[in-house]
Structure 1
């Protein structure tokens, strides 16, 4: 069985795990949140500290957690404080799966092998030690309901849950709107959690901004193409008008000649 206290990355993953489907909510942003949660856990362990918007290693001694120690070593190798947004936005291949496998070894979840459409192998995870998951959720619910400033660990977890978009998963529908708002407000109760949560959201907004920047030149090209296409059409319209005027003048001259000829013959 697992220990009573989980690390913040583990708690965030357990919050995101949907008991009905065995999958995680917000899988893409969750990967960013897990990277940020590692920073918060290392800060709580006294290994790193915020330095403005950067993260500095203050004690490179291992924590005993292999996944956290791997992150700590990568930070140490940087040699100088790294911006939180750059660290969180870096490649984190397999981080979510690493934590799911770890939780399975601890007896917190059970992997269920299946097939999608009878062909593609899939793995779903069902929580087996639900008491821990309920305790994690109860801490958030209490902080939201009472409005009392929570401890640093709970505040950081709330900040990360909001940052990765778990609010609608935890407190769905219109009835959960006020709870989602209070979840967001908890971000201010832990400086490190707030720094990391804002970095997670900045990374997500940066990706959206890049996509918008790609769309804008394409739209500009379309407008230029439309402008070039309209120029020949305008020229053809002018030619048509000139031809019509020329034809009218020719017809008028023909009528005049026809009227003059009888008088000359007379």
Structure 2
């Protein structure tokens, strides 16, 4: 993969970067979004493909991007296809900082050292060329304004921006409400982007950690924490339960 095109993780991070404060919007969910953006970028590069709600490696050869290749190798080591929600919900500590440092090496941002309360050291990041961020957002604006289905890359970027909560950062206030709604609607234009975006939202909502439960029988609702009654073995009739009256008669 050449460097003539910015990757989706890079574009998502540049969208999240506040030019005034030098900080990123939605830092808690941005790591999840960056992990999802890696999956979409690898899919666009033909290295992975969706398999239902899972991700399968179809071409393990390197892309030339060290950060993407690290993710690709981890996926390859899994052997079997992995659920997107489990992959995105896995440990991704420092992914945002990894990409900030990467953008700094590429010359797209520069670090500004500072202090919080005059004591704690801080690092803020300023874009070296705000035109890049404006061009990225202009693609989203065009898709929202015209209603024309965007290309898969822009559709996936819109889906991820919505999933991590960048809508209010990009289109703030009441005047941005309709744009935020249309940003959400762009999810349907890219299947891979939609799969990953929904996985990001599921992780934030804790869906990945909740096991599936069997529904209670019709007309009855299982009590919270109650264990389901064991099913009889096939071909063996269910024996009646012996209550207190039955035991009294037996004696």
Deviations along 1:203-242, one digit per CA (max 9) or x if unpaired, are 00017998xxxxxxxxx9xxxxxxxxxxxxxxxxxxxxxx
Where do 5+ consecutive residues of structure 2 fail to align? 211-223, 225-251
Q: For structure 1, which runs of at least 5 residues remain unmatched after alignment?
A: 211-219, 221-266
Per the TM alignment, residue 133 of structure 1 is displaced from its structure 2 partner at its CA by 1.0
Provide the TM-score with structure 2 as the length reference: 0.81
Could you tell me how far apart the structure 2 residues matched to 1:147 and 1:101 are? 35
Q: Is the 8 A contact 2:85 2:200 kept in 1?
A: yes
Partner in structure 1 of residue 26 of structure 2? 26
Q: Deviations over 1:122-158 (max 9, x none)?
A: 0000011222111101000000000000000000000
Alignment of 1:221-232 (within 5 A): none
* Total equivalences in the alignment: 209
Residue deviations 1:79-101 (CA, integer Å, cap 9, x gap): 00000000000000111001000
Question: In the alignment, which residue of structure 2 is the partner of 1:113?
Answer: 113
Q: Of Structure 1 and Structure 2, which has the larger fraction of its residues in helix?
A: 1
Q: Distance in 1 between matches of 2:99 and 2:51?
A: 28
Equivalent residue number for residue 196 of structure 1: 196
Partner of 1:13: 13
Tell me the TM-score normalised to structure 1 length. 0.77
Q: Is the 8 A contact 2:202 2:208 kept in 1?
A: no
Q: Distance in 1 between matches of 2:120 and 2:134?
A: 33
Other structure's SS at 1:72 match: helix
1:184-221 CA-partner distances (Å, limit 9, x unpaired): 000000000000000000000017998xxxxxxxxx9x
Matches within 5 A, 1:1-266: 5-206=5-206
For residue 206 of structure 2, give the secondary structure of its aligned residue in structure 1.
helix
Distance 1:207 1:113 in 2: 38
Separation (CA, whole Å) in 1 of partners of 2:16 and 2:186: 18
* CA positional deviation for 1:19: 0.5
How large is the Cα RMSD of the aligned pairs?
Answer: 1.6
How far 1:5 sits from its partner (Å)?
2.4
Change in 2 beyond 3 A, CA 1:45/1:208 = closer
